A and B are shown apart, each in its own frame.
Chain A
Amino acid sequence: MIAALIIVFREVFEAGLIVGIVLAVTRTVPHRNAWIGGGVLAGVLAACAVAVFAGALSNLFAGMGQELFNALILIIAVVMLTWHNVWMARHGSELAGELRAAGQAVVDGSKSLLALAVVVGVAVLREGSEVVLFLYGVLAGGDTAWGVALGGFAGLALGAAVCLLTYWGLVKIPTRTLFATTTVLIALLAAGMAAQAAAFLEKANWLTMMDNVVWDSGWLLSDGSLLGKALHTLIGYTDQPTAMQLTVYLAILLVTFVLMRLFGGPVKAPQPARG
């Protein structure tokens, strides 16, 4: 039962962190619970579908289907997170301010919520399909199934606790600095996910340039440990990054910074409204 708890907790830990961050980022946006809840639900359903078709998925692309699928959904999440940051740089002050009609702000707000709901769905899907496969294997096996299932659900509950702790920790931050904090958090989250996507493409042999390992800090902090795993999710820490992963990581940070400068507005003169 303890083994099952650990396995399930390890898988849902990352999703818990991400959902917690997204809840904190959107805490002032109306209807956010429905959107985020929808994202989690869609993620769970998609995870079940992926688990059912795991064999078929694996066999795609000369046996590299799983790696490419993971890379693809990570790239989608990176685009959504970056878009959210750029959108907030442009509209964040308007949302809080007086310029816009409330109705329009809600419509725009839900566009950004959709992006974050997709991110939540992707996080749940990635970790969830492994949990579903594991629990299915146990229940199909018959031996000591109830104890293991109980452990599995306890692991899920612990993952939800991580989510709540992340949320409470972040909402303690005063509103004035919350925006800056979450912007940085989301940019690092996106950069880390992009580096992970690069790692999956490397495993699939689709990305073979610059695959030398730049450093090995496993002696200092293994990315298999709980702290290493938390940093892996939050800022993309890995103990043996390749030159390509590092380049992609820095490129995403740079792109986010440049796009936020280009489209962000309150400091500059008022820009003509677009779209």
Chain B
Amino acid sequence: MRTISRRTAVIGAAALTVALAVTGCSKASTGGSSSDTGTSGGGGSSNLNVVFIPKNLGNPYFDASDAGGKAAVGELGGKYSQVGPQTASPDAQVQYINTAAQQHASAIVISANDPKAIGDALTQAKQGGTKVVTFDSDTDPQYRDVFVNQASPDGIAKAQVDGIAKQIGDSGEIAILSAAANATNQNAWIALMKKDLAADHPNIKLVDTVYGNDDDQTSFDKTAALLQTHPNLKGIISPTTVGIAAAARYLSTSDKKGKVALTGLGTPNQMKEYVKDGTVKEFYLWNPTDLGYLAAFTAAALVDGTITGKEGDTFKAGRLGEYKVGANGEVLLGDPTAFNSSNIDKFNF
């Protein structure tokens, strides 16, 4: 008898606990949703609340862009937060999008890890009144309001061609050290560079294009081979951050240092030592801090209704000036930034 009653008591207690938990939960859900309506309160810029979701945390590139975003939201008097996954995977990003949507953030500013996989989560966020701005890496256009594009292909090609022309005196042989032979963006840039060269720099002759596959060692070896096969080479353009760093490392220890010009797309942290030792005079990349700054202002403009994301809308982006929404809901940051000995110490990415 005694044992039976004890068992009954235990079962009873367990049942009670479960019942409490269940009622607790249901009460929780009603309580929560009523407080929702209280705090969401539309999206006037007075309660601007912008959530930055980079591809992953601990990435210097995104640290730089997020710093720009933070500065912009600060200027606007809003609330800024930065959350994101540890690894650059779309499923982990979805959790942060959902959370931001639940908190009724006025805008999400995100660099997408997948153009489609985070789409449903973004759509739900938009339905809940949150504005969605993508930057650096876009989703399919229907999932976001505006994409803040870091650079146009034309701008990237022109900056590098003009750069090498300036460095070699607008005449002589040059070569290109690219990434993979079938890399879409690389090939688009190379085609545009050829067009620019033919149109504006007839005395510069592109003698070779080699592929380092975005591998440090391969790019290093290809640079060595280029210099051997083309003894009159005056300049190299490497429109890839891996390639330009490997080429600079080779040049810095070869007797061609300072004689063969090198430019392209690189990051300041990788290139700092080669700019300081004179191997590289100037290279290019968009400025991620400006990119984040512009993305935050774009988000704020969407929230306060200055723009809706349709072509032709214009808005002011603080210190960067006036911007216009282009085709496909894209805002273009502008020309790439030139990095050289005069400014390279100011950047950390």
A binds B: no
